[in-house]
Amino acid sequence: MRKIVYITLLLFVSLASFAQQPADKIVGNWESMDAEVKLKFNIFKSDGKYFGKLLWASNMFEADGKTPKLDFNNPSKALQSRSRQGIVNITNLKYDNGEYKGGKLYNPTDGDTYSLQAKLKTEDELHFRGYLGISLLGKTMRFKRVQ
């Protein structure tokens, strides 16, 4: 009887831990899978929230292919002279019940900031949903984990 209780308890604990997805699994480098503009981000955690640093984008360089474009569409005049490369343009994502919510995505191409949600579909596939107003009117982008 004692053995059955132990096995049942062990099974219950292992199933419960399998069902829970640790929030930090989003941390790492991610590359877009099907976007018009190819993107690569580094997602990191700071003060219990998740942020994304733009490592690379297919449209981030001038015609010479080496010089990063400036953030000239930024609504803040003080930031228009900064390089697009390396900016933190995903901010304040919070993990809640298997999803990341309440974030913002700044798009240097148009200078707009969008609301952002994210969800890990697998350990190596991440979906971002950016939108203005309501999520139904947004766009989902798929990313794969890269090293």
Query: Per the domain annotation, does 14 fall within a domain?
Result: no
- The pLDDT, as a whole number, for residue 16 is 42
Would residue 141 count as lying in a domain? yes
Nearest-angstrom CA–CA distance, 23 and 120: 10
Domain containing residue 48: 24-146
Q: Residue 24: its pLDDT value, please?
A: 95
pLDDT of residue 91: 98
pLDDT score of 4 more than 80: no
Secondary structure (DSSP) of 79-136: GTTSBSTT-EEEEEEEEETTEEEEEEEEETTTTEEEEEEEEEEETTEEEEEEESSSGG
Number of domains in the chain: 1
pLDDT of residue 106: 96
Percent of the residues in the chain that have a pLDDT greater than 90, as a whole number: 76
2 assigned to some structural domain: no
Judge whether 52 lies within some domain: yes
Q: Does residue 5 fall inside a structural domain?
A: no
Q: What is the pLDDT of residue 36?
A: 86
Q: For residues 90-108, give the mean pLDDT.
A: 95
pLDDT, one tens digit per residue, over 17-64 is: 444 448 999 999 999 998 888 999 999 999 999 999 999 999 999 999
Write the pLDDT tens digit of every residue in 61-76. Answer: 999 999 999 999 999 9
